[in-house]
Amino acid sequence: MRSFRYLTPALAIFVPLLAGPAISADKTLTVYTYESFVAEWGPGPKIEAAFEADCGCDLKWVGVADGVALLNRLKLEGDRSEAGVVLGLDTNLVAEAKATGLFEAHGLDTAAVSVPGGYSDEVFIPYDYGHFAVIYDSEAIANPPTSLKDLVEGDPEQKIVIQDPRTSTPGLGLLLWMKSVYGDDAAAAWEKLSQRVLTVTPGWSEAYGLFTSGEAPMVLSYTVSPAYHMVAEETERYQAAEFSEGHYLQIEVAGMLAHAPDKDLAREFLAFMMTPGFQNEIPTQNWMMPAAPITMELPQAFSKLVTPEKTFLYSSDEVAENRAAWIEEWLGAMSR
């Protein structure tokens, strides 16, 4: 996921102009997503414009802190939610999201979608994917960690900012990554790693903001993140650390709600999501890998990225079964 701030401050000036005269449309689609997706520097505004050009409707974004917080919010709102589509859960959360009974099968042809491992589901459609990675500031760290073990056991004075697994999908991703590598010893590893953790933020945006402002030399993000700095800032200062154990994969998905006010419109949006109109905005606005064909050329920087040799991914049933217990374990280890 994830787009970057300060993209072109000049762009921000035009946003109010674009949003200025409220387009009077008789149909409205509300999409719940995470904050960085709808920020003025994120893909949200462009995707909104592209979708509204054809649908004769008004697309309304509602951004919450991060992916897991999305699920919490849905559980809270139940069938009173005004949302038609939820965009920004990941495969780790799919089983739990289905168990709420709030989602409905999309009934669309998803042949265009292609993600590592070939994920396919009748309720949720992938829209992008990426591997989690520790991004480091090469001006602050000369010898970045080369493995997760290295990260856990490294110099506690070199800090990392991570996200809270109770609200954030990257946070949950790191939790599952640690579990994949350490298994039953994960609690002990977390206890050790906690000495290197500067702070735990509720969402990805906060963490990445702390990192780029120099509060910490490392942050949990994605292997694609350095491409942003190479393309938008023309610097190779920020790099992803390649871990020898392998990297945890995230596939981000969207689905429509059973209580969507306008189901046809919700379905139309999900179909649009698999077209280049949507997908073209993913690589250089959300800074993730597209899950369906694009009609643009990927910038040169994308060829310089870390490509993990080994990939971890739990099945969503496994995550659903263990998430509460593992988070409990995380809380216990981190509060020690």
Positions that interact with other proteins (CB under 8 A): 5, 35-36, 39, 62-63, 65, 68-69, 72-73, 75-78, 80-82, 157, 159, 164, 166-167, 194, 197-203, 205-206, 208-210, 212-216, 327-332, 334-336
Rg, the chain, Cα only: 19
CB-nearer residue toward other proteins: 107 or 214: 214
300 vs 281: CA distance, rounded Å: 16
Give the Å distances, CA to CA, from 325 to 169, 173, 175, 331.
Answer: 17, 15, 12, 10
CB-nearer residue toward other proteins: 193 or 313: 193
SS3 62: strand
291 vs 59: CA distance, rounded Å: 22
Minimum gap (Å) between residue 64 Cβ and other proteins: 8
Give the Å distances, CA to CA, from 122 to 13, 110, 247, 253.
Answer: 41, 9, 27, 12
Minimum gap (Å) between residue 310 Cβ and other proteins: 29
Minimum gap (Å) between residue 201 Cβ and other proteins: 8
CB-nearer residue toward other proteins: 187 or 289: 187
DSSP string, 70-96: HHHHHHHHGGG---SEEEEEEHHHHHH
Minimum gap (Å) between residue 336 Cβ and other proteins: 7
Minimum gap (Å) between residue 138 Cβ and other proteins: 17
Tokens for 135, please give them: 């991004």
Minimum gap (Å) between residue 168 Cβ and other proteins: 10
Minimum gap (Å) between residue 215 Cβ and other proteins: 4
Q: How many CB atoms lie within 10 A of CB 246?
A: 18
Q: Nearest CA to 228 among 12, 48, 5?
A: 5
CB-nearer residue toward other proteins: 13 or 49: 13
Tokens for 93, please give them: 């959360």
CB-nearer residue toward other proteins: 167 or 180: 167
CB-nearer residue toward other proteins: 121 or 191: 191
Tokens 């602050």 appear where?
A: 140
Which residues fall within 8 angstroms of residue 153, CB to CB, at 6 or more apart? 192
CB-nearer residue toward other proteins: 112 or 327: 327
